[in-house]
Amino acid sequence: MKNMKSFMKRRDFLIGLSGLTFFNLFTFTLGRSQIDTNQKLKVEPYDMQLRPHHILDIISDHGNGVQYEPHPYGHSLHIVAPIILSDLDLKVKLVLDADDICVGCKHLLSDGKCKDVLAQLNPSPLKQAYNDVLDCRLFDYLSIEVNSVLTTRKYLELVNEKVPGIEMICTHPKTSMEERLNGLINGLNKLGIRERI
């Protein structure tokens, strides 16, 4: 949990630097959801907030043997991935917004939006719109409500029920669907979520 604590400190520090306090990000996220003032009292505590597809990226990378290093964008994937993979009982808030991986990213705007584009496509769509559509489809496909708090283990058990199948939704443009599926299967195997056949 030492890593987790230092990550949380780094997250708050970086969010502060970007002009977006953790409190603002938190309430901004709530504001985007259907939660009203009375329901705020029922908000569950959580360890991390992540987009559903970012967790799938981590699992398929894990299955494909990818080793993370700091990225030129400055985002926090190399910090978040080992934490998620090392403790499947962490509580994750599944969001449709900037998440803990976006912390420190040079493309993260002060309003929590992403200004990056999908450079592999021409014309290149905004990553913000691409991510939102992809994650909406995953929330629907997995029958999970936006802003639900689940352990990573529970989330991956739901994902496992949709493997194969989910790769048709979550494979990124210009990448291999077969590689995505194999990565997900291997990653779920390695984590003990899926039985090896």
Nearest approach in angstroms of CB 114 to ligand SF4 is 3
If residue 185 lies in a helix (H) or strand (E), which one and from where to where?
A: helix 177-190
Beta strands 149-151; 91-94: pairing state:
antiparallel
Nearer to ligand SF4, 55 or 108 (CB): 108
149 in helix, strand or coil? Answer: strand
Nearer to ligand SF4, 1 or 17 (CB): 17
Nearer to ligand SF4, 60 or 131 (CB): 131
Q: Which residues bind ligand SF4 (CB under 6 A)?
A: 73, 75, 98, 101-102, 105, 107-108, 114, 116, 127, 131
Cβ burial, residue 67 (10 Å; 0-12/13-18/19+): exposed
Beta carbons within 8 Å of 185's beta carbon, 6+ residues apart: 63, 163, 164, 194
Nearest approach in angstroms of CB 161 to ligand SF4 is 26
Nearest approach in angstroms of CB 116 to ligand SF4 is 4
Nearer to ligand SF4, 41 or 119 (CB): 119
Nearest approach in angstroms of CB 195 to ligand SF4 is 33
Report residue 87: phi and psi, to 5°: -145, 95
Nearest approach in angstroms of CB 30 to ligand SF4 is 19
Beta-carbon-side half-sphere exposure of residue 153 (alpha carbons within 13 Å): 8
Nearer to ligand SF4, 108 or 156 (CB): 108
